[in-house]
Structures are given as C-alpha cells and as structure tokens.
Amino acid sequence: MKAFGYTPALAQALSGLPEAQPDWQAARIVRVERNQYLLETASGPREGVWPAGRRHKLLDVPVIGDWVACSGAADTPDEPLRIEAVLDRQNTFIRSVLKGRRTQPQVLAANVDTVLIVTSPLDWDLERLERYVQAVQLSQAQPVILLNKTDEVRSSLERWTDAGLDAPVLPISAAAGQGLDALAEWLAPGRTAALIGSSGVGKSTLTNALLGQELSRAGDVSDLTGEGRHTTTWRTLYPLPLDGPGRGALLIDNPGLRDIAVWDEEGAAFWAIEELAADCRYSRCTHGREPGCAVQAAVARGELDAALVDLYREQQAVQEAPRRNPRDKRRR
C-alpha cells in the first residue's frame, strides 16, 4: 500500500472516522469506468461499489486517486467491497461543466501532486493552456506542460518553450523516448501525477513509455484533420516501474479533454450556496431574510462570504426575471 501513497496520516484518518468499524480497510481507487470501481487494497486489487441511492453531495462521490474506507470480507476476493466513506483528500483537481442551465463542478482526480499537461506543436493553443495551468494551480497541484512530438518539428522550439506560461514547458517525444528523464523532478515513489490534454497529443503513448510496456492503447490520428481519436475512455491509476523514467511514481491517465473551464472561488462559493439551499425551510427561499435560511446561517457562522451570497442573489434575480414577467415579454 505504501507504493500507492498510503501514509500514517491516512491510517489515522481511517481509524478516526466516527462510523468506522473494526473490519473496515483502506483502499485506493485505481480505475473508474462510469459507476464501476477497481480498488487497490493491502491484499491486492478488488472491485468496489458505491451504494446506489446513498444521499451525498456531488463533490463527495469517489473519484480516481481517492483513498476510501471499505467494508467486506477479505477472504472472499470475488465479492466487491462496499465503499463506505472517502478519506480526507489532499486536494481535488476540478473543472467546471455545464449541466442544463447550471454550472457545476466535475472532479477529475483527487490526491494529485503534479498534473502533466500534454500538448504538441500542432495542438498548441496558448489561451487553452493558460486555463489548464490556472485550473491546476487552483487545485494546489504543480502544473507541468509536456510539448510532445517534438521529433516531428524541424524548427526551433523556443516559440513554445518561451511562451511565458506560468509552468515549465518540457519538450519530449514519447514515441522516441526522448526528454522523459526531465520528469525526474516531479516523479518519485508514492507521488501521484495526472495526465491531461486533448485527444491525439500522445497521452497513451506517453503512458506506455513510462510504464515500459503497452497497457494503454495508442490511437490513430485522422488523415483529414491531423487530430487524434479518443483512445482512453476511463480513468486509470498506474504504478510506474522504479527502474524507468517514472521512478516508482503513480500515473493517472484521463480521457482526452477538448478544453477546460476553470472552477474558481466564485464558482465554488455559488455551488456551496446551492447545496446549502436544499436545507432551507422554504423551497423558494431567496436567502435574504427568510426564517430558517441555511445559507444565511452559514454566513452567520463565518462559513460563507456575505458579499458572495449577495452576488449570487443578484445573478439569481437576473435569471429569474424573464420567467417572472412572461406577459411583459409578450407585450413587446
């Protein structure tokens, strides 16, 4: 378990759970495919289940990289373990996604030390990379940009390596195995790195190069667009060999992302308000002076910034205005 990042602090977190039972054990989530989990336990890999119908907040759902408390018999390896709780996270790498008319967070990975942002000369987009870097920094992880496929470039690389991004830019060729030793500063036993980037930039090829074997299938590149086809359709955490360029680190391979929207402090505050609103006494509470308002109670406890609540109320009022005055709209 130590090879997967298990520490005395995590053992203490497990034993300190108020509802913990003597037979509970710690495990790390090493694969997520929709609602199916693969866990790494002290006795080896086991399937895991997150009970359906359990009431939980969106950000509390187990994700790749999480350490979890599980129940289940150790001597029945064919039966899945039941995930009982998510242990305290070191950090969460989050992006903002639009669901209908609402913006909500999506946790891409948890307990990540470094995020390797993979791009290529053909895929290079400075503004998009700036958003990636900002999202990683907000997660309290270290961003590192890997400029892959540099063996296909005949000109100087300075236009990319000196682009002024707030993160190191390392030129590599995953296919040729070039430049991977430069990752030594960020890859070490027990440390976790996550790969993100567009499809076709070589994330799967890089994963295979760091593993020293082909476990992650590398995809083709379209002859028409020069863009890659999606090859990774689930999230997987791999332990890297000690004697290779991965130096015993842990690597999370993610499906390709076309772009990333930053989940910032304002978005996090608005989401916290919406989750608290479920506990308000009135279903149509405006979070002003209504009695039993859970949002204002959180402000009084110092858990929410009153100015952000006011900003949220203003935005809600703007969104509600067209629905409240349909007749005025028809008269125009």
CATH of the domain at 232: 3.40.50.300
Instruction: Check whether 86 has a pLDDT greater than 90.
Output: yes
Percent of the chain with pLDDT over 90: 53
Find out whether 70 is annotated in a ligand binding site: no
Instruction: Check whether 177 has a pLDDT greater than 50.
Output: yes
Helix (H) or strand (E) segment spanning residue 159: helix 158-161
Question: pLDDT (tens digit, 9 = 90+) per residue, 302-331?
Answer: 888 888 888 888 877 776 665 555 555 454
Measured CA to CA in angstroms, residue 328 lies from 199, 285, 314 at distances of 47, 24, 20
Find out whether 293 is annotated in a ligand binding site: yes
Per-residue pLDDT, 247: 93
Q: Average pLDDT, stretch 3-21?
A: 93
Find out whether 149 is annotated in a ligand binding site: yes
Over the chain, what is the mean pLDDT? Answer: 85
Whose structure tokens read 């682009």?
163
Within this chain, do residues 99 and 221 fall inside the same structural domain, yes or no?
yes
- Residue in 238, 139, 246, 140 with CA at minimum distance from that of residue 186: 246
C-alpha 50/C-alpha 31 separation (Å) is 13
Instruction: Check whether 242 has a pLDDT greater than 70.
Output: yes
Of 124-128, 199-203, 275-279, least confident by mean pLDDT is 275-279
Per-residue pLDDT, 221: 40
Find out whether 264 is annotated in a ligand binding site: no
Measured from the Cβ of residue 183, the count of other Cβ atoms closer than 10 Å reads: 21
Instruction: Check whether 278 has a pLDDT greater than 60.
Output: yes
- Domain end point (choices 86, 102, 130): 86
Find out whether 285 is annotated in a ligand binding site: yes
- Domain end point (choices 219, 253, 287): 253
- Residue in 74, 77, 78, 86 with CA at minimum distance from that of residue 22: 74
Please report whether residue 260 resides in a domain: no
Decide which of 61 and 233 is more confident: 61
What pLDDT band is residue 228 in, cutting at 50, 70 and 90? very low
Q: What is the pTM of this model?
A: 0.78
Per-residue pLDDT, 270: 77
**Assigned token pair, 332:** 């125009």
Q: Please tell me the number of Cα atoms within 13 Å of 115 on its side-chain side.
A: 28
Within this chain, do residues 153 and 237 fall inside the same structural domain, yes or no?
yes
Percent of the chain with pLDDT over 70: 86
Per-residue pLDDT, 186: 95
Find out whether 256 is annotated in a ligand binding site: no
Within this chain, do residues 127 and 203 fall inside the same structural domain, yes or no?
yes
The answer to whether 222 touches 140, Cβ cutoff 8 Å, is no
Per-residue pLDDT, 97: 80
What pLDDT band is residue 265 in, cutting at 50, 70 and 90? low
The answer to whether 51 touches 42, Cβ cutoff 8 Å, is no
Of 80-84, 214-218, 243-247, 249-253, least confident by mean pLDDT is 214-218
Find out whether 76 is annotated in a ligand binding site: no
Question: pLDDT (tens digit, 9 = 90+) per residue, 28-42?
Answer: 999 998 778 999 999
Whose structure tokens read 């020293």?
212
Query: Hey, is 197 helix, strand or coil?
Result: strand
Within this chain, do residues 125 and 242 fall inside the same structural domain, yes or no?
yes
Within this chain, do residues 128 and 245 fall inside the same structural domain, yes or no?
yes
CATH of the domain at 80: 2.40.50.140
Find out whether 16 is annotated in a ligand binding site: no
C-alpha 310/C-alpha 274 separation (Å) is 13
Number of domains in the chain: 3
DSSP assignment string, 35-90: TEEEEEETTEEEEEE--TT----GGGS--TT-EEEEES-TT-TTSPEEEEEEPPPS
Within this chain, do residues 271 and 319 fall inside the same structural domain, yes or no?
yes
Find out whether 203 is annotated in a ligand binding site: yes
What pLDDT band is residue 223 in, cutting at 50, 70 and 90? very low
Q: Average pLDDT, stretch 196-214?
A: 90
Helix (H) or strand (E) segment spanning residue 194: strand 192-197
**Assigned token pair, 183:** 């990752």
Helix (H) or strand (E) segment spanning residue 31: strand 25-33
Instruction: Check whether 229 has a pLDDT greater than 60.
Output: no
Find out whether 197 is annotated in a ligand binding site: yes
Per-residue pLDDT, 70: 95
Residue 17 domain boundaries:
2-86
Per-residue pLDDT, 234: 81
Per-residue pLDDT, 163: 84
Per-residue pLDDT, 45: 94
Q: Average pLDDT, stretch 251-280?
A: 79
Question: pLDDT (tens digit, 9 = 90+) per residue, 111-137?
Answer: 999 999 999 999 999 999 999 999 999
Find out whether 202 is annotated in a ligand binding site: yes
- Domain end point (choices 212, 228, 253): 253
Within this chain, do residues 202 and 147 fall inside the same structural domain, yes or no?
yes
Find out whether 230 is annotated in a ligand binding site: no
Please report whether residue 258 resides in a domain: no
CATH of the domain at 284: 1.10.40.50
Within this chain, do residues 238 and 300 fall inside the same structural domain, yes or no?
no
Per-residue pLDDT, 266: 67
Instruction: Check whether 263 has a pLDDT greater than 80.
Output: no
Within this chain, do residues 243 and 277 fall inside the same structural domain, yes or no?
no
